Structure 1
Amino acid sequence: MFDNLLPPLNEHNLPYPDTIHPIVVHFVIAMVLFAVVCDFVGLATRNYKLYEVSWWNMCFATVSIFIAIIFGQIEAGLALAYDAVESTLSLHTLIGWSLSGIIAAITGWRYIIRLRDPLRLPTSYLAVGLVLTVIVCFQVYLGDKLVWVYGLHTQPVVEAIKQGVLQ
């Protein structure tokens, strides 16, 4: 019914030249990890200006993760996902949506901390930053697995699926 409204899909099975989700999500990864590093370096060196750097990185990461999720959902929907990839793709999607809420909540918490005392971070906040780092690293592992092991949106895999070699 709406097929004539959609642009044709290319050799990556996408309506645009290449995947956008990895480009946007790498900004999120960098901003979150850099924010955590800034918090710890700021604490260790008593350079409290790094807390401000961390705060702004978390703000931009909060906005950016929703953009990454939008493109991730589009690209996951267009992926020719064969049986072996389904569980990893589902887990990656679940954790991605969860991270959007987690990052937004942590940023909100950070906002309250910043209003109360911009020169002090509670130990609990620093601990949550470490937990967030572990979750982000696991999510990176899953995303890498989708591309480098399962080959989602790569030309050889798209061709193999279209020819019926992979199911």
Structure 2
Amino acid sequence: MFNYLPPLNEHNLPYPDPIHPIVIHFVIAMVYFAVLCDFIAYFRKKERLYEVSWWNLAFANVSIFIAVIFGSIEAGLAEPYAASVSTLNAHTILGWTLPAILSVITGWRYVLRLQNKPKLPVAYMGANVVLFALVTVQAYLGTLLAWVYGLHTVPVVDAIKGGLS
């Protein structure tokens, strides 16, 4: 069975570079922009920005599932060393939780969009703040994994293959 799988490269991946960071940066940008548009629309009475926010949230909701799939594949192939395990575990747990949270908020936003009210409820704006904070924490954890612990970088992969634990 394993004969049919592609060989792993110098990044310990079956494809040239990690895909998860590429996809997840779109999600981060779309969530941040959706929250920003909601707040500008809420405080400045620019109702057209609610539509911009909705579409960014909808596309972020679809994209986050693609990011989680590639993130799971890449985390499984990472062979983390002891110092990075707790950060990778926290990133994984929040990474599996965020799609559910984003889906609930997107569904809520869809219902509010159908109601066509001139202003979003304060509770929804609070949920936006929580979503923004969770995405920020998740981005920080991902940054640690890439830039501090160097998962899927050639020197770290070589060190692990050489016996680093």
Question: Do the two structures share a fold, i.e. TM-score over 0.5?
Answer: yes
Residue 148 (structure 2) pairs with residue 152 (structure 1): no
Cα separation, 2, equivalents of 1:104 and 1:89:
23
Give the C-alpha shift of residue 137 in structure 1.
0.5
Contact conserved, 1:21 with 1:68, CA < 8 A, in 2?
yes
Match of 2:108 in 1: 109
Cα separation, 2, equivalents of 1:6 and 1:54:
41
Cα separation, 1, equivalents of 2:90 and 2:112:
32
Match of 2:24 in 1: 25
AA matched with 2:26: F
Match of 1:9 in 2: 8
Deviant stretches of 4+, over 3 Å? none
Give the C-alpha shift of residue 119 in structure 1.
2.2
Give the alignment of 1:62-77 within 5 angstroms.
62-77=61-76
User: What value does the CA root-mean-square deviation take over the aligned residues?
Assistant: 0.8
Give the C-alpha shift of residue 43 in structure 1.
1.5
Match of 1:79 in 2: 78
> TM-score by structure 2 length?
0.98
Residue 45 (structure 2) pairs with residue 42 (structure 1): no
For residues 121-151 of structure 1, give each alpha carbon's deviation from its aligned partner in whole angstroms, at most 9, with x where no partner exists.
Answer: 0011011101111111000110000011110
> TM-score by structure 1 length?
0.97
For residues 29-74 of structure 1, give each alpha carbon's deviation from its aligned partner in whole angstroms, at most 9, with x where no partner exists.
Answer: 0000100000011122211010000001110011000000000000
Match of 1:98 in 2: 97
Match of 2:88 in 1: 89
* Larger CA deviation: 17-26 vs 77-86: 77-86
Match of 1:124 in 2: 123
Contact conserved, 1:92 with 1:142, CA < 8 A, in 2?
yes
> Aligned with 2:36: secondary structure?
helix
The share of aligned pairs that are identical, in percent, is 62
AA matched with 1:106: I
Cα separation, 1, equivalents of 2:116 and 2:51:
12
Give structure 2 stretches of 5+ with no counterpart.
Answer: none
Give the C-alpha shift of residue 118 in structure 1.
4.0
Contact conserved, 1:62 with 1:103, CA < 8 A, in 2?
yes
